[in-house]
């Protein structure tokens, strides 16, 4: 509840956010500020020259001034316009790069925060939502930094313009300015209210948009491409798209029939304003003999005056909207960290591998869940021990791993490293203790060697080669065009190499080995491997984990044979514990599971049962 209120009211107001962007731009690229000032200056100057051009020249024609005067006046004005236009065009071409750099700087800040923030933050929908909004704000050059500077340039232009026009019009009856101001403000406020329909119906709109995007993008999914052809899914997809498009079109028509009211309103108010201006100025001309050129000047100035006012209103509104988004970016950057990092206690790295991890009365419940995923669990992983965690899908194995590795903090109880609560440590240093392969593994589109070493500059090539050898990838690397310098994946570098699922899993293993953490955590590391490769990993397991603590998670019970201790997890608790032999003797759930799995492997057996 509290959180919701926070998102409704932005933490920073419009002025603070504007100042923030100005400050940031000043830091990253000073030219951005100067370009904005120049843009505004040129715009104001252009406007004034344009305003006076026609009336001054017409005045000369009207009073039949000297030929030379007329020509000089035209040439001066034209030259001024030319210089200003050239400046404007040149500045425009050079506006985007600087702003884009500031944007990129913000994107980097947002990404860094997303990369290093405490893990629970990236599992929390509300902070994820904040992240998504923040990214969307900073990836488009025109959305945040660009928008603020555009608005600032326009605002200064409008304000200076307004002041000048007030001076020009001050000789006239103030009622003219009053009527113009009133109709302009009224038009602005009332049309905003009409256009608010779009804002109120934005969810509906994005619903259609999501559907159409989904339908249009299915074709690029290579895996789905097979299913589409085998099961002849095209008509189904087509119907889905057409239905969404039909609804979206109906939505658009509904919206436009409402928006047209804003146009009607504008037309009526403009009619009133112009009617009043004509009435006043023509009366003035008839009664006081106002020359036609001055009539033109005042009439143009009144319209300009109205433009400045609505310009100011529009830009303030836009600045307000942009500010909301910038506030989200800043709030995301300042998102509080439940974990300690640099300010935490350093992890002592003295004794080699002598780390004991203890879970004490640990319970974990996902936010909003009805029951604990891990419930009152006690477990001590002794230094150098090889522990296997087995259990069915949904038993809580992955959550347990996340608790051990310090990605989640228990809802109740504590996780201790050598007797000390891990919450007080620098969490990044704590992660350094682990070499892990998770179920959701990922490669980066960087070179093979960099993927193994997870570093760009300090790569120990000898060690990379050893780890690749241990993971059984040497032969594959030999076939790569640039060996260890080959890029992995083809999303970024066209000469990259795509790895198969099994090869990627081996690469993940090599990466874990290179890191040489004191605790090895392997979560289903052989799922994508064939039997021989799987067996190969099993056989190397002892070698790989020599002198280290290891935790092996699997539902393939074969893997448990070479572990010192097996814990059987069910419904978030350890229900059975022991060695393979002792668990088989116990004849409980573990033994059941083992029998189910081994049934088809028994000589002679199962064939006829199936």
Site for other proteins in 476-495 (CB under 8 A): 490-494
Would you list the DSSP string of 143-211? TTHHHHHHHHHHHHHHHHHHHHHHHHHTTS-HHHHHHHHHHHHHHHHHHHHHHHHHHHTHHHHHHHHHH
173 binds other proteins (CB under 8 A): no
Q: Which is nearer to other proteins, 167 or 556 (CB)?
A: 556
142 binds other proteins (CB under 8 A): no
Query: What is the signed CA dihedral for 116, 120, 125, 126, rounded to 10 degrees?
Result: -70
Distance CA 224, CA 233 (A): 10
Q: Give how far Cα 483 sits from Cα of 113, 437, 477, Å.
A: 34, 23, 5
Q: Residue 9 Cβ, how far from other proteins at the closest point, in Å? A: 26
Q: Residue 195 Cβ, how far from other proteins at the closest point, in Å? A: 12
Residue 54 has φ and ψ, to the nearest 5°, of: -60, -50
Strands 573-578 and 374-381: unpaired
Q: Which is nearer to other proteins, 2 or 532 (CB)?
A: 532
Asked if residue 385 lies in contact with residue 565, where contact means CB atoms within 8 angstroms, the answer is yes
Q: Which is nearer to other proteins, 319 or 496 (CB)?
A: 496
Q: Residue 355 Cβ, how far from other proteins at the closest point, in Å? A: 16
Q: Give how far Cα 488 sits from Cα of 56, 222, 537, Å.
A: 69, 19, 23
Q: Which is nearer to other proteins, 13 or 439 (CB)?
A: 439
Alpha helices in 63-124 (DSSP H): 67-93, 95-116, 119-123
Distance CA 358, CA 378 (A): 8
Distance CA 297, CA 302 (A): 9
Q: Residue 293 Cβ, how far from other proteins at the closest point, in Å? A: 7
Please identify, among the stretches 112-120, 172-180, 310-318, 357-365, the one whose residues bind other proteins according to the rule CB under 8 A. 112-120
193 binds other proteins (CB under 8 A): no
Please identify, among the stretches 154-162, 325-333, 463-471, 557-565, the one whose residues bind other proteins according to the rule CB under 8 A. 557-565
Query: Any bridge partners for residue 364, and if so which?
Result: 374
Please identify, among the stretches 315-323, 366-374, 460-468, 534-542, the one whose residues bind other proteins according to the rule CB under 8 A. 534-542
259 binds other proteins (CB under 8 A): yes
Q: Which is nearer to other proteins, 113 or 323 (CB)?
A: 113
Q: Which is nearer to other proteins, 298 or 305 (CB)?
A: 298
Options 33, 57, 159, 333; binder of other proteins; rule CB under 8 A? 57
Structure tokens that stand for 339 in this block: 């974990």
Instruction: Enumerate residues 6+ apart whose C-beta is below 8 A from 251.
Output: 201, 204, 205, 208
Options 23, 26, 27, 94; binder of other proteins; rule CB under 8 A? 94
Site for other proteins in 493-532 (CB under 8 A): 493-494, 498, 500-503, 511, 515, 527-532
Quick check: helix, strand or coil at residue 316?
helix
Please identify, among the stretches 15-23, 100-108, 152-160, 461-469, the one whose residues bind other proteins according to the rule CB under 8 A. 100-108
Site for other proteins in 294-333 (CB under 8 A): 295-296, 299
Distance CA 341, CA 428 (A): 6
Distance CA 56, CA 74 (A): 9
Q: Residue 71 Cβ, how far from other proteins at the closest point, in Å? A: 7
Angle between helices 31-62 and 14-28 (to 10 degrees): 110
Q: Give how far Cα 556 sits from Cα of 404, 440, 441, Å.
A: 21, 18, 19
The interface mask with other proteins, positions 392-421, x = CB under 8 A, is xxx-------x--x-x--------------
Asked if residue 173 lies in contact with residue 323, where contact means CB atoms within 8 angstroms, the answer is no
Options 7, 16, 100, 310; binder of other proteins; rule CB under 8 A? 100
54 binds other proteins (CB under 8 A): yes
463 binds other proteins (CB under 8 A): no
Options 7, 101, 126, 586; binder of other proteins; rule CB under 8 A? 101
Site for other proteins in 198-217 (CB under 8 A): 207, 209-217
Residue 209 has φ and ψ, to the nearest 5°, of: -60, -40
37 binds other proteins (CB under 8 A): no
573-578, strands of its sheet edge to edge: 434-437, 519-523, 549-554, 386-390, 565-570, 573-578
Site for other proteins in 424-443 (CB under 8 A): 428, 431, 434, 436, 438, 440-442
What number of chain residues touch other proteins (CB under 8 A)?
172
Options 27, 202, 234, 585; binder of other proteins; rule CB under 8 A? 234
Options 68, 231, 419, 547; binder of other proteins; rule CB under 8 A? 231
Instruction: Enumerate residues 6+ apart whose C-beta is below 8 A from 69.
Output: 60
Site for other proteins in 351-380 (CB under 8 A): none
192 binds other proteins (CB under 8 A): no
Q: Which is nearer to other proteins, 159 or 190 (CB)?
A: 190
Options 19, 23, 37, 132; binder of other proteins; rule CB under 8 A? 132
Q: Residue 54 Cβ, how far from other proteins at the closest point, in Å? A: 6
Asked if residue 436 lies in contact with residue 463, where contact means CB atoms within 8 angstroms, the answer is no
Q: Residue 280 Cβ, how far from other proteins at the closest point, in Å? A: 11
Structure tokens that stand for 416 in this block: 């201790």
Asked if residue 467 lies in contact with residue 514, where contact means CB atoms within 8 angstroms, the answer is yes
Options 167, 224, 354, 546; binder of other proteins; rule CB under 8 A? 224
């Amino acid at each position: 509840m509290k959180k919701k209120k926070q998102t409704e009211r932005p933490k920073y107001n419009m002025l603070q956010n504007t100042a923030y962007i100005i400050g940031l731009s000043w830091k990253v690229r000073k030219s951005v500020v100067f370009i904005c000032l120049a843009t505004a200056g040129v715009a104001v100057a252009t406007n004034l020259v344009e305003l006076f051009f026609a009336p001054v020249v017409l005045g000369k024609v009207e009073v039949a001034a000297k030929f030379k005067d007329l020509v000089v006046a035209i040439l001066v004005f034209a030259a001024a316009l030319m210089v200003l236009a050239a400046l404007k065009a040149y500045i425009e071409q050079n506006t985007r790069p600087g702003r884009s750099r500031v944007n990129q700087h913000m994107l980097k800040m947002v990404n860094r925060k997303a990369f290093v923030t405490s893990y629970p933050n990236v599992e929390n929908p509300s902070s994820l939502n904040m992240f998504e909004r923040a990214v969307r704000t900073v990836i488009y050059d025109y959305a945040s930094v660009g928008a603020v500077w555009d608005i600032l340039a326009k605002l200064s232009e409008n304000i200076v313009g307004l002041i000048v026009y007030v001076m020009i019009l001050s000789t006239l009856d103030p009622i003219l300015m009053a009527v113009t101001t009133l109709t302009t403000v009224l038009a602005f406020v009332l049309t905003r209210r009409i256009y608010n329909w779009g804002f109120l119906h934005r969810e509906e709109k994005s619903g259609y948009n999501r559907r159409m995007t989904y339908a249009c993008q299915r074709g690029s999914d290579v895996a789905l491409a097979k299913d589409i052809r085998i099961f002849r899914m095209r008509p189904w997809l087509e119907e889905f798209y057409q239905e969404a498009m039909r609804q979206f079109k109906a939505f658009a028509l509904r919206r436009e029939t409402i928006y047209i009211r804003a146009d009607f309103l504008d037309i009526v108010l403009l009619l009133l304003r112009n009617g009043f201006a004509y009435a006043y100025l023509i009366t003035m001309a008839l009664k006081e003999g106002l020359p036609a050129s001055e009539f033109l000047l005042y009439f143009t100035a009144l319209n300009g005056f109205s433009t400045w006012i609505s310009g100011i209103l529009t830009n303030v509104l836009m600045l307000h909207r942009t500010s909301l988004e910038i506030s989200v970016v800043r709030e995301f950057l300042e998102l509080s960290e439940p974990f300690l990092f640099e300010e935490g206690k350093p992890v002592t790295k003295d004794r080699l591998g002598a780390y004991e991890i203890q879970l004490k009365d640990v319970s974990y419940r996902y936010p909003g869940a009805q029951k604990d995923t891990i419930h009152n669990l006690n477990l001590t992983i002794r230094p150098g021990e090889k522990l296997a965690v087995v259990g069915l899908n949904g038993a809580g194995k992955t959550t347990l791993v996340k608790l051990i590795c310090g990605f989640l903090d228990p809802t109740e109880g504590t996780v201790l490293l050598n007797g000390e609560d891990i919450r007080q440590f620098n969490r990044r240093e704590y992660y350094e203790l682990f070499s892990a392969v998770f179920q959701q593994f990922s490669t980066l589109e960087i070179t093979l060697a960099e993927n193994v070493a997870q570093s760009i500059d300090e790569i120990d090539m000898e060690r990379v080669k050893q780890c690749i050898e241990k993971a059984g990838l040497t032969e594959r690397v030999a076939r790569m065009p640039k060996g260890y310098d080959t890029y992995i994946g083809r999303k970024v570098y066209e000469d990259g190499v795509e790895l198969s699922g099994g090869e990627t899993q081996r690469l993940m293993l090599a990466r874990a080995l290179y890191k040489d953490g004191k605790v090895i955590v392997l979560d289903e590391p052989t799922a994508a491997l064939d039997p021989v490769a799987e067996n190969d990993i099993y056989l190397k397991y002892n070698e790989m984990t020599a002198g280290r603590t290891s935790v092996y998670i699997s539902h393939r019970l074969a893997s448990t044979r070479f572990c010192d201790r097996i814990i059987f997890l069910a419904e978030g608790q350890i229900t059975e514990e022991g060695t393979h032999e002792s668990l088989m003797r116990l004849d409980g759930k573990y033994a059941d599971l083992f029998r189910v799995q081994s049934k088809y492997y028994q000589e002679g057996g199962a064939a006829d049962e199936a």
